[in-house]
Amino acid sequence: MPCWRTMASVRHKKNNGRYKNLDRYDSIIIGGGHNGLVCATYLAKSGQRVLLLEASESVGGLGASREFHPGFHASIAHSVSHFSKRVTDDLNLRSHAYVPGANPLPTVGLGIDREHIIFDQGTLRGVSADDAESFKNYSRLMHRLADVLHPFWLKTMPRIGSSNFTDLMTFGHLGLNLRRIGKKDMLEFLRVASLPARDLMDEYFDDETLKATLSWDGLIGAKMAPRSPNSAVLAMLYRMAEISRGEHSIPGGGVNGLITALSQAAVAAGATIRCAAPVERIRLAASSDGLQANGVQLTDGEIIAADRIVSATDPQRTFLNLVGVENLDIGFTNRIRRLRCSGYVAKLHLALNSLPEFTGLAQANGRMIIAPKMDSIEFAYDAAKYGESAENPVMEIVLPSVHDASLAPAGQHVLSAHVMYVPHELKGGWTDAARERICESSIDTIARYAPGIREQIIHQEFLTPADLERCYRVTGGHWHHTEFAMDQMLMMRPTYEAAQYSTPIPGLYLCGAGSHPGGDITGAPGHNAAREILR
């Protein structure tokens, strides 16, 4: 995707080998991922002079498209499931050519020697009548619970112990919402919220593939397996909160279509976007009152001043690299250090000369999950726990080119797969051979369901979490910047004293996935941060 270089960036004059900016911005956003763009747009719309700095050649972060092989495009995130409706409306994204995916992708639990499980627009096929019936009850409960939580993803979490009226209202609101769904459901929520995915599934279903497929949305992107208690159900409810009910879709132009719309909206609102402008340090002014963020220094030495700095990059990078530990308290530094930021999802991209055929599947137009049993997920995770790679990886496959022909040359296709669990730190370190081995075993796994696929491959690319870290400047290659787990969510995301988008350093804010409510393409952290800044 092209970079928006507007007039603002031309104004910089060379001065003694250093760029000097005579203008002062109201806000500088570090990082042009979707949350950075959302935040920049809200701030610009409010009349602020906003500069967004993106280190790479184009904005979009993990949502940006890359041509991984001539004519073949893919982005790390390959579908959108709960992008905030409020952000879409507020920023008028449709007027910036955002075309939300019209039809949700069917979720397909691929089976071997059995019928595939297909969940499409509210109907579930390929399972027993009992399970289909249970599914109705299950969905009803999950939707009710998701609705309870829905308002809170777009709220700023209060500080515990605060006596601020708005904060107390937020607590009261949650309590009231919970009570409003009825005593039975409320009690059920308090029980189910911390349940491992496996136990929840076992309570409702018999079909192993169904259980694994439904667990997927609670586990993907996290260092969790079906047996891990405490956070999987909350992750599921988080993803179900929007009106899409967590169903995935591919916007016009792929995920990048959304990014394009967001960038256009930002520019239209008056924000300046500069790409290839990596930030080296956040500049701080010291006074007797303490530190105050007042600008950034780019890697080429250029200094740009601003009243506030808003970081869309991950918390560890923000604090440990850009701010520097010497400017932070020791306890706070330690809390940032101990954030669990190791990603466990790798990305496989295949350029295919034709549409692959999955045995027994009429159309490969869905989100296909390869996880035949809950134990398949569990055992794949077991290997990753020790820094080993799973013998039988589990994965989610999408063919974005089926939905948007522009992503591949005519008649040809892109296969995009999230492969779990691939450790960020492989025992013995990552080598090309190690990457190759996992890539091949992932393709072998796919070939079990799409036997002809090997012959269709023109080009293959496998990005480990370590690769994602390097290419996308995200610590640990973690989708969510830091683990979405009970101890790192809500008023503890990323850690207390930085969970309300402000940080211990006045003038420095966070607006990325490392802030409440968390990762995935939602726009919510960007939205919430902008509201706090404008408060």
Partner 1 sequence: MTTTDPYAGERLKLSPFYPRQEVLNIREAWSAWNGYKFAEYYYDAEYEYFCVRNQCATYDITPMQKYEIRGRDAEVMLNRMVTRDVTKIGIDKVAYCVWCTDEGRMIDDGTIFKLADDRFMLTCGSPCTAWLAKSAFGFDDVTITDVTDDLAALSLQGPTSCAVLKNMGLHGIDTAKPFNIMHFPFHGESLMVSRTGFTGDLGYELWIPPELGLKLWDELYAAGEDYGIQPYGEAATNMARLEAAFIMPAMEFNEALRTVNFEHDQTPFELSLGWLVDFDKPHFSGRSALLKEKQRGPKYTLTKLDIEGNRPAEGSYIYGNKQCTKEIGYVTSAMWSPAVKANIALAMIMTDQLDNKMWAEIYYEKELRQYSRIAACTRKKKPFWAPSRARATPPPDC
Partner 2 sequence: MNKYDAIIIGAGHNGLTNAAYLAKAGLNVVVLEKNDYIGGAAVSRELQEGWLYSSCSYVCSMMRQAIHRDLDLGRHGLILVPYLGTVNFGDGDERLFSYHDEEAAHHELKRHSPHDADAMHRFQTDLTRYSQLIRKTLMRTPPDPASFRPRDIMEFLYLAKQFWTLGEKELYEYVRFFTMSAAEYLEDYFENDLIKAAMASPGIIGTALGVYSPGSSYVLLHHVMGDVDGSIGAWGLARGGMGAISDAIAGAVAEHGGEIRTNAGVQKVLVKNGKAIGVVLENGDEITARIVVSNLDAKRTFTRIMDKSDLPEGIYERAKNFKIRGSSGKVNIALSGMPKFTGVPENRYLARGGQGFSGSLETMERAYDCWKRGAWSDDPFVESVIPSAWDPTVAPAGKHWMSNFVQYCPPELSSGPWTPEKRDAFGKSVIDKIERYSPGFRDLIVHMEVRTPHEIENEVGLTEGNIFQGELTIDQLFFNRPFPGYGQYRMPVKNLYMCGSSTHPGGGVSSVCGANAAREILIDLRRTNTVPVDDFYDE
Chain residues that interact with partner 1, rule: CB under 8 A = 286, 288-291, 320, 324-334, 337, 504
* Dihedral of the alpha carbons of 202, 208, 213, 218, in degrees to the nearest 10: 30
- The residue written with tokens 């397909």 in the block is 108
**169 counts as binding partner 2 under rule CB under 8 A:** no
Please report whether residue 208 would count as binding partner 2 according to CB under 8 A: no
Q: Treating both helix axes as pointing N-terminal to C-terminal, what angle do 34-45 and 524-534 enclose, rounded to 10 degrees?
A: 30
Separation CA 93–CA 201 (nearest Å): 37
Q: Give the N- to C-terminal CA distance of the chain in Å, as an integer.
A: 33
State in angstroms the smallest separation of the CB of 412 from partner 1: 48
- What part of residues 354-383 is at the interface with partner 2 (CB under 8 A)? 375, 378-379, 382
Is residue 492 part of the contact set for partner 2 (CB under 8 A)? yes
Tell whether residue 194 is a contact of partner 2 (CB under 8 A): yes
CB atoms within 10 A of CB 137: 10
**Helix (H/G/I), strand (E/B), else coil: 126:** coil
Minimum Å distance from CB 508 to partner 1?
13
Interface with partner 2, residue 388, by CB under 8 A: no
- Binding residue for partner 2 (CB under 8 A) from 102, 169, 190, 534? 190
Residue 194's binding partner among partner 1, partner 2, none (Cβ under 5 to 8 angstroms by kind) is partner 2
- Compute the least distance from the CB of residue 166 to partner 2, in Å: 17
Segment near partner 2 (CB under 8 A); pick from 74-82, 102-110, 227-235, 285-293 = 227-235
Out of 103, 334, 354, 431, point to the residue binding partner 2 (CB under 8 A): 334
Which amino acid does the sequence have at 258? L
Sole binder of partner 2 in the list 64, 93, 192, 450 (CB under 8 A) = 192
Q: Which does 289 bind (CB under 5 to 8 A by kind): partner 1, partner 2, none?
A: partner 1
Shortest separation between residue 189's beta carbon and partner 2, angstroms: 9
Of 409 and 504, CB closest to partner 1: 504
Of the candidate residues 160, 176, 405, 534, the single one contacting partner 2 (CB under 8 A): 160
3-state secondary structure at position 393: coil
CB of 203 to partner 2, least distance (A): 5
- Looking at 187, 206, 405, 534, which residue binds partner 2 (CB under 8 A)? 187
Q: Does 325 bind partner 2 (CB under 8 A)?
A: no
Nearest-angstrom CA–CA distance, 452 and 358: 9
Does a cis peptide bond (omega within 30 degrees of 0) precede residue 372? no
375 binds, among partner 2, partner 1, none (CB under 5 to 8 A by kind): partner 2
Supply the minimum distance, in Å, between the C-beta of residue 217 and partner 1: 36
If binding means CB under 8 A, how many residues of this protein chain bind partner 2?
40
Between CA 358 and CA 371 the distance in angstroms is 15
CB atoms within 10 A of CB 326: 6
Strand pairing report for 345-352 and 13-15? unpaired
- 378 contacts which partner out of partner 1, partner 2, none, CB within 5 to 8 A by kind? partner 2
Q: Which helix (H) or strand (E) segment is 86 a member of?
A: helix 85-90
Q: Which is nearer to partner 1, 58 or 311 (CB)?
A: 311
Residue with smaller CB distance to partner 2, 231 or 327? 231
CA atoms of 319 and 354, how far apart (whole Å): 46
Among the listed residues 399, 485, 513, 533, the single contact to partner 2 using CB under 8 A: 485
Q: Is 172 exposed, middle or buried (0-12, 13-18, 19+ CB in 10 A)?
A: exposed
Alpha helices in 397-464 (DSSP H): 400-403, 432-449, 453-456
Going by C-beta distance under 8 Å and a sequence separation of 6 or more, which residues neighbour residue 473?
31, 55, 56, 278, 313, 317
Contact pick of 195, 271, 336, 402 for partner 2 (by CB under 8 A): 195
Our finding on whether 146 is near partner 2 (CB under 8 A) is no
| Cβ pair 366, 118 in contact under 8 A | yes
Is 135 or 462 the residue whose CB approaches partner 2 more closely?
Answer: 135
- Is the distance from CB of 45 to CB of 269 less than 8 angstroms? yes
Helical H segments across 118-182, by residue range: 129-153, 165-180
The answer to whether 203 contacts partner 2 (rule: CB under 8 A) is yes
Taking CB within 5 to 8 Å according to partner kind, which of partner 2, partner 1, none is near residue 202?
Answer: partner 2
Question: Taking CB within 5 to 8 Å according to partner kind, which of partner 2, partner 1, none is near residue 333?
Answer: partner 1
Q: Which residues contact 458 (CB under 8 A, 6 or more apart)?
A: 69, 72, 351, 352, 353, 412
Q: Under the rule (CB under 8 A), what is the footprint of partner 2? A: 159-161, 179, 183-184, 186-188, 190-195, 199, 202-203, 224, 227-231, 334, 338, 340, 375, 378-379, 382, 385-386, 485-487, 491-492, 495-496
